[in-house]
Amino acid sequence: MENLHDSNSRSETLPPNSPHDKLFKAVFKRTDIARAFLKAVLPARLLAKLDLSTLRPSDTGRVDSNFEEAFSDIQLTCDTYDGGQVEIVLILEHKSYIPFYGPYQHMHYQDGVWGWQVQQKGTSPTPVIPVLFYHGQEDWQPKPWKDYLKGWDEEFAPFTPSGGCIFVPLSGMTDEEIKRFRNGFLVASLLLMKHRLERDYLLENLPKIFNFVESDPSENDIDSRIENLKYALRYLQGLKSINWQEAKASLKSLNLTFQTMDVLDEVKLEGIYEGIVIGEKKGEKKGLQKGLKKGKFFSVHNMLRKGYGLDVIADVQKVEVGYVTDIAKQMKKEPDITRMLQQGKLGLPQIADALKVSPFLVEAVKRDLDRPAA
């Protein structure tokens, strides 16, 4: 039996809730995307049985929580053309290297679904199809479960499950094959995951990759594109092969993408982090809510300063245009805020109260004054 794991081959550590996990779930929780993906990867004989137009989130129970340390999964239900039903489990490994016992791991998913089904009144077990999405760098072709068993003999075959799955090695898909998918978010996500360790490739191709999302013909509204951009950009933030500032410089030609990057920067640095810290220290939700509110205000304020239009800011920030307009009106009083801060007679809350503006605006102006000159 071959050695399936070499600890020296690890190129990265992928814990649960890693950027890979989050992007995978953001992509494949969408049944329209999962449907397009399955049409491309399932064997023709299996596709002939499945009515993928019926694909939907599954009602079956998930596998035990201990197993989530190794995998992410999306569970879907699909009807068959002959009136039956199957469960399809899309599985992403958190490990980027060849696993110890691949078949056992996805057999565990099947067992989890069947275990849930047999406990339900009026529910009969159905076929479960594991689709294993492997994004490691090493060449790997899963073998039958018997090839992993010490002392195997063909006499044991009647008692041994095969452990088969639909195996999808991302590294085995060419870029051209990936680009044939009609959903731009899917294309960009697969390209980012495939080339996540390739610094030169990313620096050269990021604009092309994100243009698939920004110009996605399958998304009808700007809000959906912005949400997809946020998922893809957060994944990019988590990569070690390219830093965030390099990515921003590479993507500055894409207007909507660059605006969304600014939003992620501002919310992260100005609001969410502070809110989480305050909330954790106080042990209450109030601090977190205040931090989120401040982050939203600062994001709108900074975008106004950079000259973005009111409608664009409202779309990117998911706020009413009136909220943006109100902040723009308050900003006309920034010279008065500056003057009162320089006089030093009143504190920040008193200045905000005297000028009828948000305390966040006074804080923003003060930080500008405190910032060292370039």
Listed residues 138, 154, 172: the one ending a domain: 172
**Residue 224 domain-assigned?**
no
pLDDT of residue 277: 46
Is 96 in contact with 14 (CB distance < 8 Å)? yes
Bridge partners of 167, per DSSP, are: 132
pLDDT mean for each 10 residues of the chain (374 residues):
34 53 87 92 95 88 45 83 92 64 80 86 88 80 86 92 87 91 93 93 94 89 86 89 90 87 63 44 52 77 82 78 92 93 89 92 86 58
274 found inside a domain: yes
The H or E element spanning position 48 is none
Number of domains in the chain: 3
pLDDT recorded at residue 18: 67
Contact 187, 179 (CB under 8 A): yes
Radius of gyration, alpha carbons of the chain: 26
pLDDT value for 38: 94
Judge whether 33 and 27 are in contact, CB under 8 Å. yes
Q: Is residue 27 part of a domain?
A: yes
Residue 104's closest CA among 85, 91, 87? 91
Half-sphere exposure of 215 (CA within 13 A, CB side): 8
The verdict on 42 and 85 lying in the same domain is yes
**Same domain as 323, residue 344:** no
Instruction: Report the SS3 class of residue 202.
Output: helix
Asked if residue 241 belongs to a domain, the reply is no
Q: Which two tokens stand for residue 115?
A: 């275990």
Question: CA 184 to CA 256: how far, in whole Å?
Answer: 15
- If asked whether residues 275 and 159 sit together in one domain, one would say no
- 75 assigned to some structural domain: yes
Tell whether 103 is covered by a domain: yes
In whole angstroms, give the CA distance from residue 158 to residue 167: 24
At 17 the pLDDT is 52
pLDDT tens for each residue of 204-245: 999 999 999 999 888 888 888 888 998 999 899 888 889 888
Count of other CB atoms within 10 angstroms of residue 152: 15
> Measured on CA atoms in the order 224, 228, 229, 230, is the torsion positive or negative?
positive
**Residue 260, C-beta contacts closer than 8 angstroms, at least 6 positions apart:** 226, 229, 230, 233, 316
Residues 261 and 344 occupy one common structural domain: no
Same structural domain, 318 and 339: no
Domain annotation covers residue 231? no
Q: Which of 135, 29, 20, 121 is nearest to 75 (CA)?
A: 29
Angstrom distance (rounded) from CA 337 to CA 344: 11
Are 164 and 306 within one domain?
no
**Coil, strand, or helix at residue 50?**
strand
Residue 325 CB contacts under 8 Å (≥ 6 apart), including other chains: 310
Looking at the structure, tell me whether residues 260 and 369 fall in a common domain. Answer: no
Q: CA-CA distance, 260 to 246, in Å (whole number)?
A: 16
Measured between alpha carbons, how far is 103 from 98 in angstroms, rounded to an integer?
12
- In a domain? residue 198: no
Both 121 and 51 in one domain: the answer is: yes
Whether residues 158 and 261 fall in one domain: no
Cα gap 213→191, rounded to integer Å:
12
Residue 119, H or E segment:
none
Query: DSSP letters along 285-317, please?
Result: HHHHHHHHHHHHHHHHHHHHHTT--HHHHHHHH
Measured CA to CA, the distance from residue 237 to residue 228 in angstroms comes to: 14
Task: Specify burial of residue 56 (Cβ count, 10 A radius: 0-12, 13-18, 19+).
Answer: exposed
The whole domain housing 277 covers 254-329
Place of tokens 């106080």: 282
Shared domain for 278 and 368, answered yes or no, is no
Query: Which residues of 34-165 form beta strands (DSSP E)?
Result: 50-57, 71-80, 85-93, 128-134
Q: From 172, 192, 218, give the residue that closes a domain.
A: 172
Element holding 374 (H helix, E strand): none
Same domain, 316 and 336: no
Which of 134, 155, 172 terminates a domain? The answer is: 172
Burial letters for 322-353: b for 16+ Cβ neighbours within 10 Å, e otherwise? ebbeebeebbebbeebeebbeeeeeebeebbe
In the prediction, which pLDDT does 12 show? 43
d(CA 146, CA 86): 25
Looking at residue 73, its pLDDT comes to: 78
Do both 160 and 266 map to the same domain?
no
